[in-house]
Amino acid sequence: MQQGMVNKELLGMGMTSRRTRDRLVERLAAEGITNRKVLETIRNTPRHIFVEEALASRAYEDTALPIGLGQTISQPYIVARMTELLLAGGPLDTVLEVGTGSGYQAAILSPLVKRIYSVERIESFIKQARARFQELQLRNIRLNHCDGGIGLPQYAPFDGIIVTAAPEGIPLALVDQLVIGGRMVLPIGMRDEQVLVLVIRTEQGYEKEILERVMFVPLLGGTR
C-alpha cells in the first residue's frame, strides 16, 4: 500500500473523521474527564483501527463494541477514566495492562507512560494488536500471551497496573507486583454488580477506594 493511502486510512473520513473525534472528546470532557493529555491522546488515536471494518462507523460513539470471541473494546469514557486515575499519582515509567483485547487501551497509554507490558490470554488478539501497534508506530508496548491473573513477575515491579477484565476480588499477586505507592485500577465483581476500584500499594499491604459502577467481561483463567 502507498504511504498516502495508509495515512488517509489512519486519519479517517466521514464517520471516522477528525470532527467526529472532536465530538467524542467534547463528550468525555462533559462527562467529567479532566486530564488534558488523556483527552488529546483520545483525539489523536484512531479507534476505528481497533474494531472490524463493519463497526468502524461506530468507533467514535461512546460505547463498548464487540471484538469477537465474546470480548469487547471498552467504552471510551471508561478508557479515559481508568487512564486518568492511573496517571493521577504522577508520571509512570512501567505499566502492566491485563487484557490487551483490541489493543486500544494500551495505545492510549502508549504516549503517556514510558513502557507498557500488556498481557492477553487469547493468542489471536495478541497478533491483531501487534499489527495495529506496528501500523501506528507505537513502539513502547510489549505484548505477552499469558494468564494475567498471575501478573508478569519477571518484569515486576510496575509503577501502575490496569486490569480491563473483572476478577471477583483484588488479585493479591498483582498487588505484590506494584512498587510501594504504585496504583492499580481495576473492575471488581460479578457482571451485574461491578465497581471500579483504585488500589494503592503501601508498605503493609494496600489501600482501596471504590469509585463507580462499571461493566466488564470477566477475568478468566488459563490461555487459548
For residue 18 the three cell numbers come to 477528525
Q: Is 187 in the site for ligand SAH (CB under 6 A)?
A: no
Among the listed ranges 29-37, 41-49, 66-74, 81-89, the one in contact with ligand SAH (CB under 6 A) is 66-74
Stretch that binds ligand SAH, among 22-30, 37-45, 114-122, 130-138 (CB under 6 A): 114-122
Among 25, 122, 184, 199, binds ligand SAH (CB under 6 A): 122
178 binds ligand SAH (CB under 6 A): no
Which of the following is catalytic: 74, 102, 110, 118? 74
For residue 100, what is its C-alpha cell?
490487551
Residue 22, C-alpha cell as written in the block: 472532536
Distance between CA atoms of 97 and 161, rounded to whole angstroms?
6
Catalytic residue at 102?
no
Figure out which of the listed residues 16, 41, 45, 74 binds ligand SAH, where binding follows CB under 6 A: 74
Candidate segments 12-20, 117-125, 172-180, 182-190, binder of ligand SAH by CB under 6 A? 117-125
**Cα–Cα distance between 130 and 120 in angstroms, integer?**
12
Compute the distance between CA of residue 201 and CA of residue 1 in angstroms, rounded to an integer.
47
Helices (H), the chain: 3-11, 18-30, 36-44, 76-87, 104-109, 123-135, 172-175
Which residue in this structure is represented by grid cell 498471575?
A: 150
Minimum separation from the CB atom of position 91 to ligand SAH (A): 21
* Chain position carrying cell 499491604: 205
Burial class (CB within 10 angstroms; exposed 0-12, middle 13-18, buried 19+) of 14: exposed
143 is a contact residue toward ligand SAH (CB under 6 A): no
- 62 interacts with ligand SAH by CB under 6 A: no
By the rule CB under 6 A, 151 interacts with ligand SAH: no
Q: How far is the CB of 13 from ligand SAH (least distance, A)?
A: 23
Of 59, 119, 178, 196, the one binding ligand SAH (CB under 6 A) is 119
C-alpha cell at 204: 503493609
Tell me which residues are annotated as active site. Answer: 74
